[in-house]
Amino acid sequence: QVQLQESGPGLVKPSETLSLTCTVSGGSISSHYWSWIRQPPGKGLEWIGYIYHTGSTYYNPALKSRVTISVDTSKNQFSLKLNSVTATDTAVYYCARSSAWAEPFDYWGQGTLVTVSS
Amino acid sequence: DIQLTQSPSSLSASVGDRVTITCRASQGISFYLAWYQQKPGKVPELLISAASTLQSGVPSRFSGSGSGTDFTLTLSSLQPEDVATYYCQKYNSAPWTFGQGTKVEIK
């Protein structure tokens, strides 16, 4: 059974960089697409971007200028960096898997709340 | 980019009622639409893929239909455990967009 687990600081100061890692267990990170999705408190889901195991990425145009997603296949992990954060970036951040191109998100992490505050 | 519009944004229905949620895409997406259920405080779960394919373990009272730009999620008989927010999501091409969600409550 594939499991995903997000990790990283729960509090980030405004203007700084939010950094999260998703560790994949129970399966290989290869041959799948790995996404970050976020959900502000009381609001809907926003897809941030994906990375393929080769390192190919695609970012939400609304966040593209501030987002970097990377992968470490040796550790079965992928990571998110979001820079110049503001209070509007406060959200639960999920990592999720798409089994292949043009497939929905079949496995999700439990999510981690990141609060942007001084 | 293709936008997804769900309606209604919320609904309240009685146990046993038939409930219908619609998702409209601003451009055709063939059948590349998924539905997710997110119960309060929980992680979203995939209910339906490819517009109408029920995932393993999902009760048969859930069904999906549609293709192109207009899609529907139907609950044939609403149960208390179906209280949740439901999201549609397109995945034919990136960016992979979600609808704004439909909150389902019991009357």
pLDDT band at B12 (very low <50, low <70, confident <90, very high): very high
Residue A114 clears pLDDT 90, i.e. is over it: yes
pLDDT tens for A95-108 read 999 998 889 999 99
CB contact under 8 A, A105 and B99: no
- Residues of A with CB below 8 A from B101's CB? 44-45
| Contact criterion met (CB below 8 Å) for B73 and B21 | yes
Q: In chain B, positions 28-47, which contact chain A (CB-CB < 8 Å)?
A: 32, 34, 36, 38, 43-46
| Contact criterion met (CB below 8 Å) for A39 and A46 | yes
What phi and psi, each to the nearest 5 degrees, are found at residue A66? -115, -5
DSSP letters along A12-46, please? E-TTS-EEEEEEEESS-STTSEEEEEEE-TTS--E
pLDDT tens for B23-64 read 999 999 999 999 999 999 999 999 999 999 999 999 999 999
Element (H, E) at A47: strand A46-52
| Contact criterion met (CB below 8 Å) for B67 and B25 | no
End-to-end CA, chain A: 39
Residue A82 clears pLDDT 90, i.e. is over it: yes
Q: How far is CA A2 from CA A63, A96, A107, B94, in A?
A: 28, 11, 7, 24
Instruction: Please give the share of chain A, as a percent, with pLDDT higher than 90.
Output: 94
CA A102 to chain centre: 18
pLDDT tens for B58-85 read 999 999 999 999 999 999 999 999 999 9
pLDDT band at A31 (very low <50, low <70, confident <90, very high): confident
CA angle A32, A35, A41 (to 5 degrees): 155
Residue B107 clears pLDDT 90, i.e. is over it: yes
What pLDDT does residue B6 have? 98
